[in-house]
Amino acid sequence: MQQIPGTPSFHNGAIVQLGMWGSVGSASACCNACFLNSNCVYYSTDATANTCWVYFTSPSSPQESCTTTSCSRGVHDWDPTTSTDGKTYYQGNCMA
């Protein structure tokens, strides 16, 4: 699990959308929800609320030149931001 400082800001018009959320037992369960699915860009957790949010590349997002079997829309370049919502953010498999 690679923690990032906050919601990532993506380059090249990448469109990321919330794909699933819910109660989980741990941050590692949230990690599994991300990495066991294709096109997962990042995920976040809130330990206080025991909640997980998983974000995926939108099918309408421009396709990047570097694609993989788990990232059919490509691996996205990004800039870090600082979390202001109390969540902890982690990098998914479709972030460069």
Q: Considering the domain boundaries, does residue 33 fall inside one?
A: yes
Q: Considering the domain boundaries, does residue 29 fall inside one?
A: yes
Q: Considering the domain boundaries, does residue 52 fall inside one?
A: yes
pLDDT, tens digit (0-9, with 9 covering 90-100), for 56-72: 988 888 777 788 889 98
Number of domains forming the structure of the chain: 1
Contacts of 90 (CB under 8 A, 6+ apart): 1, 2, 3, 4, 27, 30, 31, 34, 42, 43, 44, 45
Q: Considering the domain boundaries, does residue 57 fall inside one?
A: yes
Indicate which CATH number applies to the domain containing 18.
3.50.4
pTM above 0.85, yes or no: yes
Q: Considering the domain boundaries, does residue 72 fall inside one?
A: yes
Residue numbers of the domain that contains 54: 3-91
Q: Considering the domain boundaries, does residue 96 fall inside one?
A: no
pLDDT, tens digit (0-9, with 9 covering 90-100), for 47-60: 788 899 999 988 88
